[in-house]
Amino acid sequence: WEKPDGGLFTQRLLVVANRLPVSAVRKGEESWSLDVSGGGLVSALLGVKEVEAKWIGWAGVNVPDEPGQRALTKALAEKRCIPVFLDEDIVHQYYNGYCNNILWPLFHYLGLPQEDRLATTRSFQSQFAAYKKANEMFADVVCEHYEEGDVVWCHDYHLMFLPKYLKERNPNMKVGWFLHTPFPSSEIHRTLPSRSEILRAVLAADLVGFHTYDYARHFVSACTRIMGLEGTPEGVEDNGRLTRVAAFPIGIDSDRFIHALENPEVQKHIAELKERFSGRKVMLGVDRLDMIKGIPQKILAFEKFLEENPYWCDKVVLLQIAVPTRTDVPEYQKLTSQVHEIVGRINGRFGSLTTVPIHHLDRSLDFPALCALYAVTDIALVTSLRDGMNLVSYEFVACQDAKRGVLILSEFAGAAQSLGAGAILVNPWNITEVAASIGQALNMSAEEREKRHLLNFLHVTTHTAQEWAETFVSELNDTVVEAQQRRRE
């Protein structure tokens, strides 16, 4: 396997995630245009020096015909991507159903959906069956492309059965699984009808990783309390076989953000934003529009702040950028209208003919615009009700070396464990406390801002995405070698 510089990679890495890091748009019967999304995971894996990464996942489109599938496979191969083709029914039951309607809310402490809890176990069961079927389809594609010695890294709650299906087909495959969401307390996981089956499927992996030590601990407790397995300092033991469980906190490609600030396009955006909001302190929220992000709670806290501090009404502005996701799900549509209603009410109440206190955008921003916004912000507000890590808080810190703004951060985001020293930590459910923290941030002395910022900046620039991916892959290699040694002894 040749590197771009002519050297050789020492290992191949197959990254398996529900979605490939590309958007595919069909242009004709056998022609596709591909847009590569440069998310955190992509740049993290590009930075792992000795491995050559290939992606396996769903391209996000339904391609029922063979010529279309063949053409898409060929186009994706150039981007080092391998597609898994899922039909509409599977996507509905597996992705919208079991993944996003059952596991996502459960893992974020929102519980199981009411209708499943009451009578429609039939729909729960068919979604679970589709979930397993989809995981088998992913396993088929992995096995088709696997070569001896490859490392297979499975990602997230969509693919919890994948380690089991892979190991059943090839017990020698090196398989790691990483969860990007929280893993909840075992008492929450206990409510899931398929609680043990799903844990056992994950335990087939050699290495299981979480963002924080707490999530890893919850997972081990679920295995010991629900299934009676043995928890050890290394992980979980079942019949003499150890699955290693550990925390691997993700980071960002901080250099990409820091260097972007020198880009003329970003500089132009910065100048425009400074002029647009001159004389006002800028507060910023950047989230996917999801109930776990606590957007209504954040806006209500801002309202309370304005109510109690009329002096600030025309001197501060909240920019809330919320990119819509899962727009076909009724709960998400309800959330959008709820947010619009609250924003409208507050702007009506505290705005004037020339200014409004909240600018709310329902869309995604491109990278230069996002970096510029981070750079001009005085206070970032991250009020997730639960969040695996939260990369927005990291991105904000990376772009703040000139301004040294304040990060207000939910204690229920995984990032609270890494950026807690520099941020103001809040309970997002406590609107009074969040409102008070806005006042504290606005009045914070320059020395304290500097002290807090430097702590976080050091963390964000040293605990990068590349380091995260490298550590996981090398730990997976070591775990497999140790297991082989143990078996020999």
Q: Under the rule (CB under 6 A), what is the footprint of ligand ADQ? A: 40, 180-181, 250, 286-288, 321, 323, 364-365, 370, 387-392, 395
Q: Two tokens at 432?
A: 């009074």
Closest contact distance (angstroms) between CB of 388 and ligand ADQ is 3
* CB half-sphere exposure, 167, CA atoms < 13 A: 21
Reference 408, options 398, 395, 423; nearest CA is: 423
Question: Nearer to ligand ADQ by C-beta: 288 or 359?
Answer: 288
Q: Residue 336 in contact with residue 320, Cβ under 8 Å? A: no
Reference 11, options 480, 384, 327, 391; nearest CA is: 480
Question: Nearer to ligand ADQ by C-beta: 52 or 287?
Answer: 287
Question: Nearer to ligand ADQ by C-beta: 323 or 425?
Answer: 323
Closest contact distance (angstroms) between CB of 36 and ligand ADQ is 15
Q: 321: left (phi > 0), else alpha (psi -120 to 50), else beta? A: beta
Cα–Cα distance, 120 to 112 (Å, whole number)? 12
Closest contact distance (angstroms) between CB of 367 and ligand ADQ is 8
Question: Nearer to ligand ADQ by C-beta: 216 or 306?
Answer: 216
Closest contact distance (angstroms) between CB of 129 and ligand ADQ is 26
Cα–Cα distance, 42 to 465 (Å, whole number)? 9
Question: Nearer to ligand ADQ by C-beta: 286 or 424?
Answer: 286
Q: Residue 124 in contact with residue 131, Cβ under 8 Å? A: no
Question: Nearer to ligand ADQ by C-beta: 287 or 470?
Answer: 287
Closest contact distance (angstroms) between CB of 102 and ligand ADQ is 16
Residues 146, 150, 151, 153: is their CA dihedral positive or negative?
negative
Question: Which segments of 80-194 does DSSP mark as H helices, in order?
Answer: 88-90, 104-107, 114-118, 121-145, 162-169, 186-189
Closest contact distance (angstroms) between CB of 395 and ligand ADQ is 5
Distance, CA of 83 to chain centre: 21
